[in-house]
């Protein structure tokens, strides 16, 4: 029987999670089967259950792993003495890098989370709301300090995050700028659009 191939310092479960993120992005969570996943990792479907309990567990792990990474970064940014504009730039660059470097996981976390089962679904929705409120609070501080145009901070967060989620079309493009150039272009457009 074939074994799941891993690199050094990567567990078999991590390989399965990475493959499931790719599969869920390609087919959607609902349409993807454990048999599809087994083909992706090169084992029999029954072998997967030596490492995971269910497809639902994989979605949970993807969504909450991504959420935790973003929350940790938000904590770091908020704890700095940077100006609101500088904080926003740090957050935007981090979001862009995650979309470039961990695209499959971030995409699934952003698009497929609605298939989580309660109580995880409610928990994840609360985390999303909390994150967006913290993001909006930084924008609001910038408005109050006269660095950012007077706009609705919550609307600005939606626009910024949706603009960055559009990077999925960059991944599909055959003629594209480099990831570094993409990051610089997006940050320039978004920050200049906010800045007074």
3-class DSSP state of 195: strand
* pLDDT per position as a tens digit, 18-50: 999 999 999 999 999 989 998 888 877 777 877
| DSSP H stretches of helix in the chain | 12-27, 34-41, 45-48, 55-78, 84-101, 103-111, 120-144, 153-165, 168-172, 179-194
Q: What is the pLDDT of residue 67?
A: 97
Q: What is the pLDDT of residue 8?
A: 60
**Cβ 136 vs Cβ 157: under 8 Å:** yes
Q: What is the pLDDT of residue 4?
A: 56
The ranges of the chain with pLDDT < 70 are 1-10
Residues carrying CATH 1.10.357.10, the chain: 55-194
* pLDDT per position as a tens digit, 136-154: 999 999 999 999 999 999 9
- CATH number corresponding to 12-48: 1.10.10.60
Residues carrying CATH 1.10.10.60, the chain: 12-48
- Rounded to two decimals, the pTM is 0.89
What's the rounded Cα separation, in Å, for the pair 104 and 110?
A: 10
Name the CATH superfamily for 55-194.
Tetracycline Repressor, domain 2 (1.10.357.10)
Q: 195 forms bridges with which residues in the sheet?
A: 148
Q: What is the pLDDT of residue 196?
A: 82
């Amino acid at each position: 029987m074939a074994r799941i191939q891993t690199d050094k310092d990567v567990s078999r479960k991590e390989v399965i999670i990475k493959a499931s993120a790719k599969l869920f992005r390609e087919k959607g969570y609902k349409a993807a089967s454990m048999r599809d996943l087994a083909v992706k990792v090169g084992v029999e479907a029954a072998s997967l259950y030596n490492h995971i309990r269910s497809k639902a567990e994989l979605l949970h792990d993807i969504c909450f792993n991504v959420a935790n990474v973003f929350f940790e970064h938000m904590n770091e940014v908020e704890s700095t003495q940077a100006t609101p504009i500088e904080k926003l730039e740090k957050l935007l660059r981090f979001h862009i890098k995650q979309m470039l470097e961990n695209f499959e996981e971030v995409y699934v976390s952003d698009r497929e989370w609605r298939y989580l089962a309660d109580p995880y679904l409610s928990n994840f929705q609360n985390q999303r709301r909390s994150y967006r409120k913290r993001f909006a609070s930084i924008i609001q501080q910038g408005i109050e300090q006269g660095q950012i145009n007077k706009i609705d901070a919550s609307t600005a967060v939606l626009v910024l995050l949706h603009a960055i989620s559009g990077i999925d079309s960059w991944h599909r493009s055959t003629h594209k700028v480099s990831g570094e150039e993409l990051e610089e272009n997006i940050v320039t457009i978004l920050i200049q659009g906010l800045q007074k």
